[in-house]
Chains A and B, each alone.
Chain A
Amino acid sequence: MDPFQDETQSAGSGFDPMSLLRAFWKRKMLFLIPFILCLSMAVVIIRTMTPIYESSGQLLIKFDSMNSRLLQDPSRRYGRARNIDAVAYHEMDMLLTSPEFMEMMVRELDLHDALRETIVDSVAVGMSEEKSVRRAMNHLRSMVKIKRDGGRLFRIAVRDPDPELAHKLAYYLVDRFVEEYRASQAAASTSTREFLEQRLEFYKTDLEEAEKALLEFQTNQASAALMDNPINATNLSKAQRNLAEVKERYEGQDATELAENGRIVHSILGSAPSTTSYSADMVIHSTISEMEDLGLDIQLFEEGDRNAVELETRLGLLRVRLNQRIEELVALNMPHLASRERNQVSQYIYFSLFRSGKKNVIDRLETKIREFRRFAASQPGQYARIAELQDELDSARGLVQSIEAEITSQTMNIEASLSEIGMQIKVRQRPVLSYNPVEPDKMKLMALGVILSFGIGIGLVVLSIFLDRSFTTVLQIERTLGLPVIGTLPAIQDDHFEKKKKIRILRWAAIVLGILALGAIGFLVIYPRLS
């Protein structure tokens, strides 16, 4: 019976899985020893390590834009390319681990004193406060960590061998951090506002200067006619256009309406009522002169201007007041008339008074325009200068107005970020006291041990198979040497060989154990510093 029959048969196929398995089986110890050693190392580490406890609070951050519309965030130009979570994480990390914050915490909690009490070596006794604070800061920094929970959630975790200390510290830190964060966020708006306020001052001065320059020029240089002339280079054409329009209406539509009204009133009273007694009334007189001023001003503003709208409102109010006063007087003077007839009469009076006012406005506007044109024609240099000054004044006024609006919005932002509703950071979960240590993480260490030992074991086995240059089968011997194998011997069983083998195994075990012991010592020294 040939024990190598199977080998001869499988020789043609080239690859023999059985022989590979046998090669593995032969080197089983090479795999088993690192496996057992790694696992036992992991167990030793788990047993010997001082447990470390963690307490953490979760924070929610809002990313609403806090930036000014005037001072735009340059990153926005590139759309949403930047990872907001990462940016916020770095921002928070920077704030949490900043020396200022750390020192504040150390000093608030008197951690440096606590540290000085725990260390009783000669170095610690003679330590200056500054040095002990710095040491405490470093210690605190090693305990504190920010973790990203994803989706705008962050976690401030504190680790310490004492679970209660970790909890207390985490509790305190989370609250203080939130305050700091809000303050830092508000500081951004505050600084924007401060900057804007500073600019506002600057532009206001500009505006005042422009106003003063224009006034001075008009008083000192330009003729007296221009002193209180609201017409200038920019609104001249507008004023002329408006004047033409108003004039046309005054002579056309308004005249026919008044004539119609007059005919009705004539049929009621028999004669046209005198308007002079009404215009002599104090209230009516002042209202009409006010309306005239407003009417003049209103012609000089562009349509849709905020000031023009304001003037229109005021004008409307004045009209109502005028109407009421006229109705009162009519009721007083002509009590015998029916209310409908009284209405007609007061409407007629109102209309004719209003028309006379309008006439005044037209006259005044015409005069002003004429004066201005005369001035512009006679003094072209001064006219140009006035136009220039007027431009400056307008632009300065526009800037001041927009800055004032921005300051208002920044103030709103600051108030919002400091209030509970609009705040940018929220404590989502308070730190909880946990008596389950996070270190040593049994699962992690065991998994690490298993993976490491598998890797090392398989690696060693594969390496030894690859490096094996000896014969493993009879076929190999016959092929390589070109000689028949006439006999195959098992390892001759002998006490001498057994002893040698034992010595060999012991030697290897000693080497492996030595390496392992060194590794374990190294690990115990390095690991606590890593975490």
Chain B
Amino acid sequence: MSLHGRMNEKVDMAIEKTKKGGVGNLFDIESPMAIELRRIMIQVGRQLDLDRKRALMITSADRGEGKSLFSLHFALVLAYHLPSRILLLDADVRRPVQHTVFQSKVSPGFANLLEGNSSVEEAVNHTRINNLDFMAAGTTSGHISNLFGANRVRHLVEELQKTYDIVLLDSPPVVPVSDPLHYIDAVDGCLFMVMAGQTPKDVCKRGVEILRSSGANILGVIANNLGEVLPYYYDQKYYGYDKSRKKRRA
């Protein structure tokens, strides 16, 4: 994956707008995207009481199904709507992404904490949003597979939950790598991303089977890219909330 550098500007812009009290693109209460993210938040909230301390894992069957972008947006929405302290944790050590969004270094981060080379304070980056912090993926000198032994992830998440109410783990895909299986014990639930019109059905099925056989609590599936597969579903005109049209009428 290449850099998501421009994403940061976007987040900044959104934050600026939020600070001003205006309604930014991302947090436009009427935008289909915001509606969907809130819906997901509410659905998750019904299954897991988000007032309590929670850890959520976002995963998918294959690469490029929009886990990282969803995690980021979901974290922003949670931070906007909830009073809780939220940590976005880039748990994909193999292909880290989130640090590029926040334009920070990749280490120290998650992997360094697991190895015990770093402290939580060093690894956490503060964002401009008060109740949202971010932790990069980090690096390891050894083999990545050796990082996750002996419930290390669970212990780490428990430690992080001392500070944060909700920890979001942006995890790797389940079919190509086995890392996410180590996170299952550490989290309260999984969100499974499916890129519609792209990921083959069998691969998705296999991913879900892997998670289930590991005893994961799959909260639900998030279908991505449906706007592309089913045009007009997310067209604002479809909902009758097209502001430009209203303006024209006026």
Contact = CB atoms under 8 A, between A and B. Distances in A.
B29 to A, nearest CB: 15
Given A480-B205, A491-B227, 6 more contacts: A469-B200, A471-B196, A487-B43, A494-B7, A495-B10, A496-B6
Query: Would you list the 7 A-B pairs with minimal beta carbon distance, nearest first?
Result: A490-B227, A486-B220, A487-B40, A490-B234, A486-B43, A469-B200, A488-B223
A481 B70 contact: no
A484 B191 CA distance: 11
A489 B223 contact: yes
Interface in A471-490: 471-474, 476-478, 480-490
Instruction: Among A26, A469, A490, A492, find the residue whose CB has the most chain B CB atoms closer than 10 A.
Output: A490
A468 interface: yes
Interface residues of A, number: 32
Contacts of B87: none
A474 to B, nearest CB: 6
B33 to A, nearest CB: 6
B124 interface: no
A473 B230 contact: yes
Contacts of B160: none
A472 B229 contact: yes
Interface string B115-149: 00000000000000000000000000000000000
A527 interface: no
Nearest to A1: B239
Nearest to B74: A487
A485 B32 contact: no
B205 A481 contact: yes
B192 A489 contact: no
Given A481-B205, A483-B221, A489 B66 contact: yes
B197 interface: yes
Contact of B208 (A483, A485, A487, A490): A483
B201 A469 contact: yes
B51 to A, nearest CB: 19
B222 A485 contact: yes
Contacts of A491: 224-225, 227-228
B155 interface: no
Given A477-B194, A496-B6, A490 B205 contact: no
Contact of B199 (A471, A485, A493, A496): A471
Nearest to B226: A488
A199 interface: no
A490 B39 contact: no
Contact of B220 (A473, A480, A484): A484
Contact of B202 (A469, A474, A488): A469
A484 B200 CA distance: 18
Contacts of A468: 197
Interface string B216-245: 001111111111111101100011000000
Contacts of A25: 231
Nearest to B208: A481
B170 to A, nearest CB: 14
B220 A472 contact: no
A480 B205 CA distance: 7
A470 interface: yes
B223 A485 contact: yes
16 contacts: A3-B233, A26-B228, A477-B223, A483-B220, A485-B220, A486-B43, A486-B220, A488-B36, A489-B225, A490-B228, A492-B66, A492-B69, A494-B7, A494-B10, A495-B6, A496-B7
Contact of A485 (B3, B10, B221): B221
Contacts of A47: none
A486 B219 contact: yes
B182 interface: no
Contacts of B192: 481, 483
A328 B7 CA distance: 148
Interface string A332-353: 0000000000000000000000
A263 interface: no
B71 to A, nearest CB: 11
B2 A477 contact: no
B198 interface: yes
A495 B32 CA distance: 19
A235 B231 CA distance: 112
Given A3-B233, A481-B205, A494-B69, A470 B226 contact: no
Given A483-B208, A483-B218, A477 B6 contact: no
Interface in B56-107: 66, 69-70, 73
A488 B225 CA distance: 8
A486 B197 CA distance: 18
Nearest to A487: B40
Nearest to B195: A470
